[in-house]
């Protein structure tokens, strides 16, 4: 009986080792991360307004700086009109930096019955008062303006010209 017990104990001992030898798996913990930021909001305050103009018979331009200062070449700026750079307010995470994306290609503005060269003008060379990046203040607010160049044709048709362009902002 003593021999049988020794054999049984030996079998149990071997079985215990062999189950440990067969378990070759490995487990390692890792992290899952996320960062929540305050949502960014962009609000349009004023449109890009070149004001009332008169053509001079020569193609020209009106450059409207981000400060709203106009410079005309071969175009007459008429008095009694408002000229403003496009202006925006933005809100987000206090003191965080963000990137400002303005158009890099020309946009077309048209007047009623558009579709011909004299009923269209292009706006290009968009410039932001903050450059390509800005930062929210300690309250999470900021503001900036955008200017551009209006290209006026030699025999530009009279009318009110309109078009749209996009400005977007996002955290760095």
The CATH architecture assigned to 41-171 reads Sandwich (2.60)
Tens of pLDDT, residue by residue over 90-113, are 999 999 999 999 999 999 999 987
Average pLDDT of 151-163?
A: 94
CB 39 within 8 A of CB 25: no
Q: Which two tokens stand for residue 70?
A: 């106009």
* Inter-residue long-range contacts of 22-31, CB under 8 Å, 24+ positions, other chains counted: none
| Domain spans, the chain | 41-171
pLDDT score, position 35: 86
pLDDT per position as a tens digit, 44-70? 999 999 999 999 989 999 999 999 999
Cα–Cα distance measured from residue 30 to residue 74, given in angstroms and rounded to the nearest whole number: 67
Convert the pLDDT of each residue in 103-147 to its tens digit. 999 999 999 876 777 799 999 999 999 989 999 999 999 999 999
Confidence (pTM): 0.80
């Amino acid at each position: 009986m003593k021999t049988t017990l020794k054999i049984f104990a030996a079998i149990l001992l071997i079985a215990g080792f062999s189950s440990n030898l067969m378990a070759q798996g490995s487990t390692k913990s890792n992290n899952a991360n996320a960062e929540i930021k305050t949502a960014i909001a962009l609000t349009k305050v004023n449109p890009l307004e070149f004001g009332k103009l008169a053509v001079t018979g020569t193609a020209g331009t009106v450059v409207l700086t981000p400060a709203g200062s106009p410079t005309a070449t071969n175009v007459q700026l008429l008095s009694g009109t408002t000229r403003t750079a496009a202006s925006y307010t933005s809100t987000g995470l206090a003191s965080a930096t963000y990137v400002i994306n303005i158009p890099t290609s020309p946009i077309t503005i048209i007047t009623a019955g558009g579709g011909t060269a004299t009923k269209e003008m292009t706006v290009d060379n968009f410039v932001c008062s903050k450059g390509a990046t800005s930062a929210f203040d300690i309250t999470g607010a900021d503001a900036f303006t955008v200017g551009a160049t209006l290209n006026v044709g030699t025999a530009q048709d009279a009318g009110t010209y309109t078009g749209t362009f996009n400005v977007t902002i996002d955290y760095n």
